[in-house]
Structure 1
Amino acid sequence: MSDLLSRAKELEDYGIDIRRRIHKKPEIGFDLPETVKLVREELKSIGFEPAACRTAGITALAGKPGKTFLLRADMDALPMKEETGLPFASENGFMHACGHDMHTSALLLAARILKEREGELKGTVKLMFQPCEEGVGGALDMVNAGVLECPSVDGAMALHVLHEKSGSVGYSRGTACASSDIFTITVKGKGGHGAAPHLCVDPIHIAVHIHLALQALNSREVNPDEMLVCSICQINGGTATNVFPETAVLKGTIRTMNGKVRSFARERLVQIAEQTAGTFRGEAEVKFLHEGVPPMENNRDLLDASIGYIDVLLGEGTCKELPRMTGSEDFSIISQMVPSVLYWVGTGSEEEGYPYGVHDPRVTFNEESLHKMAAIYANTAICWLKDHS
């Protein structure tokens, strides 16, 4: 085990160079031409035969026929301007503020180790480089393209950076992350002059009442033991101070830890929006973005086994249990189909000089954690295949 970690450390400069190249040219959603090109070229240089997977995904295989273990990294950035001042900072208005550049470079570094040790593999390792995690839809796109087939995947793992002590590893048992359903409510009224409200149907007035009514979802309609968050994060309507607009738009998300609660909340959101609008002589149309993502489920057996692998690799007690997170991760789609596990790897705490968390334009990551992420990826796949050969 120490040999594998030592090898990852020896390859650290390779991983850091890849990370900085990706970081300097971030891309978002499914539009990742430069990132995809870089990943494909690196995989080929290592000795893999990368394959395209639907819109912008990439897969590659190592090992031999047998059980198959999948390692996933996401590649997309966020549509925000970077404010780090790093010498390799983005200049295109996008930013890897969620650490996906760390994920991708760590998996490429792990790929080098796996290729070097391919003869030791007691089965197949499938590498999954995924687009559009932030925008939601990337994992589903690759699943629909057959990423869990040919060969059929028996277990899966993903890593994500965390604003914690460098090299620390966290996990949650059972449901680890919330579901996410992104919605848009378009309120339709009747525009007119602000001085004559009786001749109009004010969509802003309706939108405000819909916002307030939705607060009853978690306070009055769901068991208090269940987690439910319904957040309206954007309201737009009107272009003048004295004119009622024809429409107003609300946008937000629903997050839960329970599939039944999720279905109920989606249904009630539509009912509340439509019926509240009707009360005030207007209309409301609700649209959900994609199919959303379900809660992330950590498989008990895989979690217990992989905790052991990581603690042997990095030191007893490295893995620590964390509270479940109300944020979402679309790796959850895979977790509903095959035994899966998601770990959070610390990439710098405030005490270590990293004061900002993910999705902050000033966030930076301790690159010393990168080789440990790569070692976790590679070692977990090697050990799990050995235990299930």
Structure 2
Amino acid sequence: MDYYKRALELNDETIKNRRYFHMNAEAGLHMPMACVYVMDKLTEYGLVPSRCGEGVTATVGNGGKVLLLRADMDALPMPEESGLPFACPTGKEAHACGHDFHAAMLLTAAKMLKENEAELKGTVKFMFQPAEETFEGSKNMIEHGILENPKVDAALAYHVSPGQMPVGIYMYNSTGTMMYSVDGFHIEIKGKGSHGAYPQNSIDPINIAAHVYLALQSVIAREADPSKACLMTVGKFQAGTAANIIPDTAVLEGTIRTNDKDSRELLVRRMKETAIRTAETFGGTAKITMISEVPPLICDPEFTEQIVGFMKELDIPKLTPYPGISASASEDFANIAEQVPSAFMYLSAGYMDDRGKYSAHNPKVQFNEDVCPIGAACLAHCATRYLN
């Protein structure tokens, strides 16, 4: 089958599906509307879908080795200001990262692979995943067996990318870390409150939290390997309700990101030690809760280059490789890539005019729907070629 030609024939349907997800955006782990829609569409296409944790899965093929195709489908908890006629009307959720495209393109790929099932030399397993933005979704589906029954041999995922660049560029990394780890942390400092006029009667959690904050910066400055990319950001500092009251507690929340496994282990351990011991120094306590724990996204070199070779076979105008990409953002597909050989790629979905001015996670961002047949064709073609 000429998958790109077929994807062009199905493009209106792909766009219709994309706009459904966009208008009915859901954020987080529980996505009832999206899951029902995906299951209905897969059933319509002749597949037999089932729930896997909070996501949806299905297979197509004839035994043999198994390739997992993954699409996240969650939105962000933010208002949309794109001005699009199919913008989400809730004012609370927005597909500002393009996951609506991922789900729609994988649905079309599933339809095409089902149409071509007799020619497949193995099995394609589909993974429609919630909660990538909160780094919960892939773990949830792994815990519920997405990599088993049938056991997955390799995995592939694409992510659309906005901006002022033409459609057709695919970006990947087969030689190093493509995306950084993410370890989100919540530090609750407990002290002893008092009237602001009598600080000697308190154990001031704000003072403790300030010292914790400064000490964490020193961990990065003096303990992180300068040859590695390491960062620690505290984005939330919350304490107190009145100017003349020293509170009982203060809260710090932040994120640690790195492109190196050893650096990740060091920074997470030292963050915990620093917070606990600094709090103890001033007579308080610190309780640390990890919000997210995702490793660096390191794609399998051989498998990634194999996928690149398959993509080069496609007769798609302006389909252009861009190797060696690396980003300090994070992606929970890394949990998959840590367990099976995997490839992850960005597909450009930008505009060269003013519509390309905004990046992902911006309320005004827009993605170019011309990427839809490209993504669907790449998924189906690469799956078929890998299995063959």
TM-score range, shorter chain: over 0.9
316 and 22 in structure 1: CA distance in 2 versus 1, 3 angstrom threshold:
closer
What's the secondary structure of 1:215's corresponding residue?
helix
Distance 1:197 1:349 in 2: 57
Aligned to 2:329: 327
Cα deviation, 1:78-117, whole Å, max 9, x if unaligned, reads 1101111211111221111111101000100111111111
- 1:203 is aligned to 2:201: no
Q: Which runs of 5+ in 1 are unaligned?
A: none
Aligned to 2:304: 303
Distance 1:352 1:246 in 2: 49
- 1:339 is aligned to 2:337: no
CA contact (8 A) 1:277 1:283 kept: yes
Look up the equivalent residue of 1:221 and give its one-letter code.
E
Look up the equivalent residue of 2:61 and give its one-letter code.
G
Look up the equivalent residue of 2:207 and give its one-letter code.
H
CA contact (8 A) 1:97 1:358 kept: yes
Among residues 52, 61, 64, which one is paired with 1:63 in the alignment?
61
CA contact (8 A) 1:297 1:332 kept: yes
**1:317 Cα shift?**
6.7
Aligned to 1:108: 107
Q: Which runs of 5+ in 2 are unaligned?
A: none
Q: How many residues align?
A: 383
Distance 1:352 1:83 in 2: 14
Among residues 79, 82, 100, which one is paired with 1:81 in the alignment?
79
Cα deviation, 1:239-267, whole Å, max 9, x if unaligned, reads 11111111010111111112221111111
CA contact (8 A) 2:57 2:128 kept: yes
Sequence identity of aligned pairs in percent? Answer: 42
Distance 1:95 1:352 in 2: 20
Distance 2:114 2:34 in 1: 21
Cα deviation, 1:138-173, whole Å, max 9, x if unaligned, reads 101111111111111111101111124212110123
Aligned to 1:28: 27
Aligned to 1:166: 167
Aligned to 1:118: 117
Distance 2:93 2:72 in 1: 16
Aligned to 2:96: 97
**35-44 vs 163-172, which moves further:** 163-172
CA contact (8 A) 1:165 1:352 kept: no
CA contact (8 A) 2:170 2:319 kept: no
Distance 1:47 1:205 in 2: 62
Aligned to 1:219: 221
Aligned to 1:281: 283
Look up the equivalent residue of 1:295 and give its one-letter code.
P
What's the secondary structure of 1:344's corresponding residue?
strand
**1:37 Cα shift?**
0.5
Distance 2:149 2:259 in 1: 31
CA contact (8 A) 1:232 1:252 kept: yes
**1:24 Cα shift?**
0.6
**1:316 Cα shift?**
8.1
**27-36 vs 315-324, which moves further:** 315-324
Look up the equivalent residue of 1:258 and give its one-letter code.
D
What's the secondary structure of 1:289's corresponding residue?
strand
104 and 128 in structure 1: CA distance in 2 versus 1, 3 angstrom threshold:
same
Structure 2 matches for 1:225-374, cutoff 5 A?
225-289=227-291, 292-313=293-314, 314=316, 318-351=320-353, 353-374=355-376
Aligned to 2:146: 147
Look up the equivalent residue of 2:291 and give its one-letter code.
L
Distance 1:12 1:322 in 2: 30
**1:123 Cα shift?**
0.4
Distance 1:88 1:317 in 2: 28
Q: TM-score, normalised by structure 1?
A: 0.96
Q: TM-score, normalised by structure 2?
A: 0.96
Look up the equivalent residue of 1:18 and give its one-letter code.
N
